[in-house]
Amino acid sequence: MNGTVLKNYLKHTNSFIRFLLVGIVNTAVGLSIMLFLMNVLELSYWVSTFFGNGTGAVTSFLLNRTFTFKSDIEWRRGVARFFCVILICYSAAYSIGQAIAESLEGSVHLSIQQNLAVLIGTIFYTVLNYIGQKYFVFKKSNLRPIQEGRN
């Protein structure tokens, strides 16, 4: 019964709430990979954030297409637009995160500074990505409603 209540509630929530729920999943995946690559494998900030976000992006596209925006957009068109938005958001958000964290240079250890840059970048990335996905990738004029019972 609780599953039915939750399922019915989520059907009627706005797309930003659903986007945030999907974001929890893809952020956990992407952020875990970023921090692992940067702190365990000692890869660079840019390599770590690129591969972490890439993995999170694939998860995000699949979940946002079916769950958040309930889109039936053509795959080729949707994927091209999606990754265009992802690359723009990635470049902007993680550059901002790095710039803010670099302003703390000398006051915190370098590894803390880099981890802070990742976290700040993630916040900016989430907001910019939602705007791009909603108004460019999955905007209503690009959508054909998904038929009930069809995934």
Q: 3-state SS of 122-147?
A: HHHHHHHHHHHHHHHHCCHHHCCCCC
Assign 9 to helix, strand or coil.
helix
pTM: 0.67
Instruction: Walk along the chain (151 residues) and give the pLDDT tens digit of each residue.
Output: 555 655 555 565 678 888 889 989 998 999 999 999 999 999 999 999 899 988 988 898 889 888 888 888 888 889 999 999 999 999 999 999 999 988 887 777 878 888 899 899 989 988 998 899 989 998 866 445 545 444 4
Domain boundaries, the chain: 2-142
Angle at CA 120, nearest 5°, toward 118 and 122? 65
Query: Encoding tokens for residue 67?
Result: 């769950």
Q: What are phi and psi of 137, to 5 degrees?
A: -75, -55
Which residues make beta-bridge pairs with 105?
108
